[in-house]
């Protein structure tokens, strides 16, 4: 969508997983520049070979696994690379602050999925199970197994913790612009 809407923009996709990068390359081709890097590792932005400030950084379900120290570094790195007025848009699964609100948000999300008959759709675990049976993905899966991928450390961080970290990193404004259950889209403006 970004490439279609911004035909003169440079779009860089970053992931540490060779399988996901391979699928992205196969689907999007030259419209996107793909970079293998572990988001949050010190110096990860250097792998992107950026030659100018960013207008926007967009993330979808890529930051919730980061622990607080790594997330603080990522938000600071992105704030430093974004031009003034640039935005970070992060769509991710973020917990509510109060345990009861977290339970309600999960229930709302589950009920909506049931009403839309989304429960029969493939979830992440079944997607991976199917990928492992596809012979065309065997080489990428073998490459994936040969590399240590990060463990999830930050799923306990709440929405307000993310907002606090964003503000501490130098974003002037940060807040949710969309929510469904525990899924949020948070926008932070540099």
User: What is the band of 36 on the pLDDT scale with cuts at 50, 70, 90?
Assistant: very high
- Indicate whether 137 pLDDT > 90: yes
| CA gap 63, 94 in Å, rounded | 10
Share of the chain above pLDDT 70, in %: 96
Q: Work out the average pLDDT over 72-76.
A: 96
Looking at residue 124, its pLDDT comes to: 74
> Edge-to-edge strand order for the sheet containing 54-60?
54-60, 82-93, 183-189, 173-180
Map residue 82 onto helix, strand or coil.
strand
- The Cβ-side half-sphere exposure at 49, using a 13 Å CA radius, reads 5
Per-residue tokens: 113: 């999925």
Looking at residue 114, its pLDDT comes to: 76
Strands (E), the chain: 12-15, 33-36, 54-60, 82-93, 173-180, 183-189
Residues near 122 by Cβ (< 8 Å), separated by ≥ 6? 130
Residues β-bridged to residue 13: 34
Looking at residue 14, its pLDDT comes to: 95
Per-residue tokens: 40: 């949050």
Comparing CA positions, the residue from 181, 160, 165 lying closest to residue 67 is: 165
Query: Which range is most confident: 30-34, 83-87, 114-118, 129-133?
Result: 83-87
Domains of the chain listed by start with CATH number: 2-189 (3.40.50.150)
- Indicate whether 122 pLDDT > 80: no
pTM of the model: 0.86
Residues β-bridged to residue 34: 13
Residue pair 185/177 in contact by the 8 Å Cβ criterion: yes
Q: Work out the average pLDDT over 14-43.
A: 92
Looking at residue 32, its pLDDT comes to: 92
Query: Which range is most confident: 39-48, 80-89, 102-111, 138-147?
Result: 80-89
Q: Work out the average pLDDT over 95-113.
A: 79
Q: Work out the average pLDDT over 2-19.
A: 90
Looking at residue 15, its pLDDT comes to: 93
Q: Work out the average pLDDT over 46-53.
A: 94
| CA gap 10, 54 in Å, rounded | 10
Using alpha carbons, list the distances in angstroms from residue 100 to 95, 109, 142, 156: 11, 14, 42, 15
- Indicate whether 121 pLDDT > 60: no
């Amino acid at each position: 969508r970004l490439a279609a809407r911004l035909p003169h923009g440079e779009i860089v996709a970053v992931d540490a997983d060779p399988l996901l990068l391979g699928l992205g390359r196969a689907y999007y081709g030259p419209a996107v520049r793909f970079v293998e890097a572990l988001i949050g590792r010190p110096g990860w932005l250097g792998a992107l070979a950026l030659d100018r400030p960013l207008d926007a950084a967009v993330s979808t379900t890529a930051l919730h696994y980061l622990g607080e120290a790594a997330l603080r570094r990522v938000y600071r790195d992105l704030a430093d690379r974004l031009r003034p007025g640039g935005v970070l848009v992060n769509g991710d699964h973020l917990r509510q602050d109060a345990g009861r609100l977290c339970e309600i948000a999960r229930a709302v999300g589950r009920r909506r999925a049931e009403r839309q008959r989304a429960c029969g759709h493939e979830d992440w675990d079944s997607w991976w199970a199917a990928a492992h049976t596809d012979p065309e993905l065997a080489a990428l899966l073998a490459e994936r197994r040969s590399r240590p991928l990060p463990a999830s450390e930050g799923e306990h961080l709440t929405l307000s913790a993310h907002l606090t970290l964003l503000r501490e990193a130098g974003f002037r404004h940060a807040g949710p612009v969309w929510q469904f259950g525990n899924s949020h889209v948070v926008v932070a403006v540099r």
